[in-house]
Amino acid sequence: MRATRYLIHALGMVAGLAVCLMMLHVVADVAGKYLLHRPVPSTAEVVANYYMIACVFLSLAYVEARGTAISVDLVYEKVGPAAQWWMRKAGQVVSLLFYTGLGWISWGVAVRAWRINETMDGLWRVTVWPAKFLLPLGMAIACLILLVKIFGGDTGDAEQGAEHDQPHGL
């Protein structure tokens, strides 16, 4: 699944870029506010509606592919490989159902925002509807990754993916 691997890495890069842009934007706003007494207009609106959504939801597929989500291994480490496999699969199915539901709901929200040309007023009016599509996009790709992991390709070895810096099985 070379295409999937490239897609995951591309989204990870876009999410990383969003973090860098957010940092630069906030630094410019703070410097402008305290050094020049002229803050960057609508910083809070852009940060909350674009950068944060991009860095969280576009990186979700990357986290799922690598198996590096936060987990508690209290029971998992104490059972055998067969039980670990079932626990992994159950967790993947529950995550898939959650992401599917959240993606479905967020798609409706995004379409509605697009239809009404949703904006947010700050010092400047900020068009926010395009960012609303980042959430269902991130959820859909995370679902794709989970489907690949559920029906094949999941080795269950999160450390291997972390060491070699590539999603396992993809």
- Domain hosting residue 21, numbered range: 2-164
- For the segment 123-132, what is each residue's pLDDT rounded down to a tens digit? 888 999 999 9
What gap in Å lies between CA 76 and CA 82, rounded to an integer? 11
pLDDT of residue 2: 82
What average pLDDT score do residues 127-152 get? 93
Q: How many domains does the chain have?
A: 1
Q: Angle at Cα 119 formed by Cα 117 and Cα 123, nearest 5°?
A: 150
Q: Which helix (H) or strand (E) holds 17?
A: helix 2-35
Question: Is the pLDDT confidence value at 157 over 60?
Answer: no
What gap in Å lies between CA 154 and CA 136, rounded to an integer? 24
- For the segment 97-120, what is each residue's pLDDT rounded down to a tens digit? 999 999 999 999 999 999 999 999
Residue written as token pair 């590096």: 68
* pTM of the model as a whole: 0.81
Tell me whether residue 169 is in a domain: no
